[in-house]
Amino acid sequence: MVMPSPLPLLTCCLLTTLASAQSNSRELNLMPLPAAYRLGQGQLSVDHHFFVTLSGYKEPRLDRAVQRFLHALSRQTDGSDPSPCIGTCVGLGVHTGHASKPLQELGEDESYTLDITPSGAILNAGTPLGTLHGLQTFLHLVQATPTGYAVPAVSIQDRPRFPWRGLMVDVSRHFMPIDSLRLTLDGMEAVQLNVFHWHLSDNQGFRVESKKFPKLQSQGSDGHFYTQSEIRGFIAYARDRGIRVIPEFDVPGHCTAIFAAYPELASGPGRYQIERQWGVMDPAMNITQEHTYTFLDALFGEMAALFPDQYFHIGGDEVNGKQWDTNPAIQKFKQSHHIKDNAGLQAYFNRRLLKIVTAHGKTMMGWDEILAPELPKSIVIQSWRGQQSLADAARQGYRGLLSNGYYIDLMYPASQHYAADPLSGPAAALTPEEKRRVLGGEATMWTEYVSPENLDSRIWPRTAAIAERLWSPPNTADVNSMYRRLKIISSQLDSLGLTHNSHYIHELERLAGSTDIEALKVLADVVEPVKEYTREQTAPYPATSLTPLNRLVDAVSPESDAARTFNAEVDSLLSSPAPATMADLRATLTAWRDNDAELQPLLQSSFLLKQDTVLSTTLAQLGATGLQALDYLEHNQPAPADWKQSQLAILEDAKKPKSQLLIMVAPAVQRLVERKPSTAK
């Protein structure tokens, strides 16, 4: 595969009237689905002679993107024929209209068209951002066919629905090595996300080298921080992929790590140490003293220069006010300034902070707690406590982003995130002008229970579903289609080196101390971590930042594909009892019933697996219960009332968390016992 010197753009005439993706019966294997496309006839072969030509606007970033594209393509093509191309080689002509902004800006043109016929392909984009997206789309269309690799003939017109499509990663609760985050950027590029929001400081760590305040990293990071040079490299890497990098320094709460270095900034007497516990903590900055503003001006000045993006996130969430209430000087300040409550005090702080952030040339953004009428409309609100604050902000003239509904740390299934739409709920009633203030959304990866080892599996593939929600038209909402395509993008993300799938097997092998994990996998395949923030309440061990994340709960996927398949089969059986479905369910339930006997010796052999004993016996019980329910169903007999009652009691218990895990097939077994189809979509 070669990249010859640029040729004139291939000319071609594809159909120009495009139907919406929804009206097309043959769906593309893409995530996100394009805004509009129409499938053509035939396919374009992609072999090792396939070439790319660049025309129009050129820059080194585009050359690098083409090199990456060809490298990725070379892994998907057959290189067994070393002969030179004679006569009929096909390729992709890429035409870019003009430069994008020297510093990527919110709302730049990211659109592109991609026309593929059996004789060649043309990618046309106004700016390099569209070109980057179009190259990704082409790559994801490559599939194996009986005659070799190929992409289907298709005409795509694509552009994002929202200009702000982000992923936040918290590197304070658990530090994430820069290489892991680079891979995260690779995944983001693949699903057309364009903002990496870096939650860089919190109670558990301050993660950036400061040259002005070196104690921040020496006292506040346990040695885990990014050097300024690493950060510059990371930002350049992101820019190459069409991704902006927004830093967040959370103030005036969530800053115990800063107080570990500079206790005089706090509202209560020190000493302070890096926090090891999770939750909302009392320490908050003393925002009534001038010294705090001098410090923030200097620190934010340094950080504003390091992070070139226009937007600068100041956090602002979850200040419980306890330290303010117990500090007499702060109480006196409130009185003398006629500030009636702590919300008013924080609004005072935000007004002063805004001046600092603005003086350093930045646009301030923060979590929804910062929304207060006194602040100018230039700030951006990130809505996390509910969708109402987003609608309120838009109505009051503020721009905002949705994160409520995209909290991937809550361990919800992709379908739940997919259903959250920035313009649904309270935002649905906004006027068109107000709706334009809704810039998009961000998935949030809080990392209390995320380590570098399982970071990928907590982000992917579910974040791809959120990426589609933010990119594709709102009527791209078919959940079955989403799951079908999620599986495909998940394996494409694997090939970037992300470990969301491979991590699972490695962790099971580590827990088992063996590669013989068949029985353990039967159990692990149908369980999920407990939802929301119940993990601490269900932990029989200390849950701090020093606790290793090495249990079964840390290995399993946030969403069980096996359970989803089982649930769908149960629903199918309950609506029409086909013998093949019955046989399939019988085989699955029998495997569960018999698995415990196989698995117990392994569970007993490992102190980390021993705690999963009850989980395994419960799955066996569910298998037995389900088989009995199938017998009644098959013989068209009503289940005896006393049996039903005893099984329902067992099922209630089976649905409760065990070793911080939920057996996700219990509700479907219950439906078999009750013979009620699911009401869930």
The residues carrying an active-site annotation are 318
**Strand 164-170 to strand 438-445: parallel, antiparallel, or no bridges (unpaired)?**
parallel
Within 24-119, strands assigned E span 36-45, 51-56, 91-96, 112-117
Of the CA atoms within 13 Å of residue 388, those in its CB half-sphere come to 3
For 289-341, where are the alpha helices, taking DSSP H only?
Answer: 290-306, 322-325, 328-336
Nearer to ligand ACM, 367 or 592 (CB): 367
259 sits near ligand ACM (criterion: CB under 6 A): no
Question: Closest separation between CB of residue 446 and ligand ACM, Å?
Answer: 7
Nearest to 658 by CA among 543, 560, 534, 568: 534
Nearest to 443 by CA among 186, 160, 244, 193: 193
Give the binding-site size for ligand ACM (rule: CB under 6 A).
Answer: 4
CA separation, residue 16 to residues 38, 137, 240, 303 (Å): 9, 19, 30, 47
Q: Which residue is nearest to ligand ACM, using beta carbons?
A: 317
Enumerate the β-bridge partners of residue 245. 196
Question: Closest separation between CB of residue 369 and ligand ACM, Å?
Answer: 8
Nearest to 241 by CA among 199, 197, 188, 198: 188
All residues at 6 or more sequence positions from 513 whose CB lies less than 8 Å from its CB, including other chains: 605, 606
Nearer to ligand ACM, 317 or 478 (CB): 317
Amino acid identity of 541?
Answer: Y
Question: Closest separation between CB of residue 350 and ligand ACM, Å?
Answer: 15
Q: What is the CA radius of gyration of the chain?
A: 27
Nearer to ligand ACM, 259 or 384 (CB): 384
Nearest to 458 by CA among 187, 237, 205: 187
449 sits near ligand ACM (criterion: CB under 6 A): no
Nearer to ligand ACM, 59 or 318 (CB): 318
Nearest to 381 by CA among 451, 316, 320: 316
Q: Phi first, then psi: give them for residue 190, nearest 5 degrees.
A: -60, -30
Question: Closest separation between CB of residue 416 and ligand ACM, Å?
Answer: 17
Question: Closest separation between CB of residue 280 and ligand ACM, Å?
Answer: 8
Nearer to ligand ACM, 297 or 317 (CB): 317
Nearer to ligand ACM, 288 or 444 (CB): 444
Question: Closest separation between CB of residue 366 and ligand ACM, Å?
Answer: 9
Question: Closest separation between CB of residue 182 and ligand ACM, Å?
Answer: 25
Nearer to ligand ACM, 401 or 530 (CB): 401
Question: Closest separation between CB of residue 353 and ligand ACM, Å?
Answer: 17
Question: Closest separation between CB of residue 268 and ligand ACM, Å?
Answer: 21
Within residues 134-193, the interface with ligand ACM by CB under 6 A covers: none
> Max alpha carbon distance in the chain (Å)?
85
Within residues 66-105, the interface with ligand ACM by CB under 6 A covers: none
Nearer to ligand ACM, 318 or 561 (CB): 318
Amino acid identity of 597?
Answer: A
317 sits near ligand ACM (criterion: CB under 6 A): yes
CA separation, residue 273 to residues 45, 203, 254, 280, 545 (Å): 61, 9, 13, 15, 13
> Is 97 within 8 Å of 167 (Cβ atoms)?
no
Nearer to ligand ACM, 318 or 598 (CB): 318
Q: Which helix (H) or strand (E) holds 512?
A: helix 502-512
The 10 Å Cβ neighbour count of residue 255 is: 28
Torsion angle in degrees (nearest 10) through CA of 58, 61, 64, 65: -90
318 sits near ligand ACM (criterion: CB under 6 A): yes
* CA separation for the pair 602, 609 (Å, rounded): 8
All residues at 6 or more sequence positions from 403 whose CB lies less than 8 Å from its CB, including other chains: 168, 382, 383, 384, 441, 442, 443, 444
Question: Closest separation between CB of residue 2 and ligand ACM, Å?
Answer: 49
Question: Closest separation between CB of residue 317 and ligand ACM, Å?
Answer: 4
Amino acid identity of 336?
Answer: S
Q: Which two tokens stand for residue 463?
A: 């974040």
Within residues 359-398, the interface with ligand ACM by CB under 6 A covers: 367, 384
Nearer to ligand ACM, 384 or 412 (CB): 384
All residues at 6 or more sequence positions from 489 whose CB lies less than 8 Å from its CB, including other chains: 30, 31, 140, 190, 191, 461, 464
Nearer to ligand ACM, 399 or 521 (CB): 399
Enumerate the β-bridge partners of residue 51. 91
* CA separation for the pair 441, 404 (Å, rounded): 9
User: What is the distance, to the nearest Å, from the Cα of residue 89 to the centroid of all Cα atoms in its chain?
Assistant: 39
* CA separation for the pair 408, 441 (Å, rounded): 13
Q: What is the 3-state secondary structure (H, E, C) of 589-634?
A: HHHHHHHHHHHHHHHHCCHHHHCCHHHHHHHHHHHHHHHHHHHHHH
Question: Closest separation between CB of residue 123 and ligand ACM, Å?
Answer: 38
533 sits near ligand ACM (criterion: CB under 6 A): no
Nearer to ligand ACM, 295 or 384 (CB): 384
Which stretches of the chain bind ligand ACM, using CB under 6 A? 317-318, 367, 384
